[in-house]
Structure 1
């Protein structure tokens, strides 16, 4: 049995999911709710983390909105990223103390296990949080992006795993501020679309292995 609850929320607008995340976070931080992993999709959305640079948005904000893409400046770490249909977004609202780097590396480990379960040789990068694949001798492409925040020793925000994501939409930004690296998906690598539900189940299994237990906290 996993040490955390799992909520599958389907496709949810970013604003609604962000507000729900914060409510769940407050309850976990107060000891009134067990650690919780939220799994969902977003409609086309661009988020800007604390390190985002304006020049990494390649269009004026009104152009994005005219295209039906919402923009949000949020409290997670990292730069600019894209969310959209076919991408599995995970928000692990877990008590992690001050171990931000260690928490990110464990998240990477879980996604690496998922990739390996599909026969994909992926790897982390010491310099950039994320899970990558090498598609040519000099070309790396990101399969999964990470960006977290820690408040009251509990993490929120999380990861975005490209499953069947429309990769062309990443050309509207400089993904994660990295101009010399690409973006890929499980569908692109494997040559066929995948069931998001099946991928979600593999993510839950991998997360349960990587996060077998958490410190307990008495309700406030």
Structure 2
């Protein structure tokens, strides 16, 4: 695994560490790094972080996870402390962890989540994938090749003393059969899709760069209003 700082690209906020990892980062290692960075930010130390990476196959359990929704524990299962239920991460799925101090931004968790949804949806549109959020369903949705609604991205966050952890994951080209071991986010009525399943070939670095190009709008959406 190699870490690359995104200094080759115009980052929208130099105060944030923008990190991209190639290869696969074990989930427990990434969680420990997030926790350490979160603790530092809460203590008023360290630097905010946006981290783009992939994991080996793993199922993660949020604070609302229901054991009956773990259908087949074929991979490691990790309790995360984030909100939500069971989620799968694995090769071909690009994960972005967003560790920001909302004390320096708009102190509104709902606004933060909606801004992340908008960030992902706008980036998917750059690849001609029309995605959307559904208020009563967690995640990022699109229509698969049959026209049915299917999940293409997951969102899960934890906020402690206004410092955020976790973030979102977008399916570029994962093995979709791996989602069969869980009921993703507790929603059994809808399927899961990917950009590859929609006929879009997108490399991880191509996705990262497109996401970065849209990051300024995300940061603006969570900024403190000028008249406040």
Shorter-chain TM range is: 0.7 to 0.9
Report SS of the residue matched to 1:164.
Answer: coil
Aligned partners of 2:206 and 2:44: how far apart in 1?
31
Matched, 1:199 2:211: no
Moved over 4 A (4+): none
Matches for 1:72-151 after TM superposition, within 5 Å? 72-97=78-103, 98-135=107-144, 139-151=148-160
The reply to whether residue 176 of structure 1 matches residue 185 of structure 2 is yes
Deviation of the 1:136 alpha carbon: 7.0
Matches of 2:183 and 2:17 in 1, distance apart?
34
1:2 aligns with 2:8: no
TM-score, normalization: structure 2? 0.85
Partner SS state of residue 32, structure 1: coil
Unaligned runs of 5+ in 2: 1-10
Distance 2:206 2:144 in 1: 25
SS where residue 17 of structure 1 aligns?
helix
In the alignment, the residues of structure 2 paired with residue 192 and residue 90 of structure 1 have an alpha-carbon distance, to the nearest angstrom, of 20
Distance of 2:93 and 2:146 partners within structure 1: 26
Q: Is the 8 A contact 2:138 2:185 kept in 1?
A: no
Tell me the residue number matched to 2:217. Answer: 209
> What RMSD, in angstroms, separates the aligned Cα atoms of the two structures?
1.8
- Structure with larger RCO (C-alpha < 8 A, sep 6+): 1
Residue aligning to 2:5: none
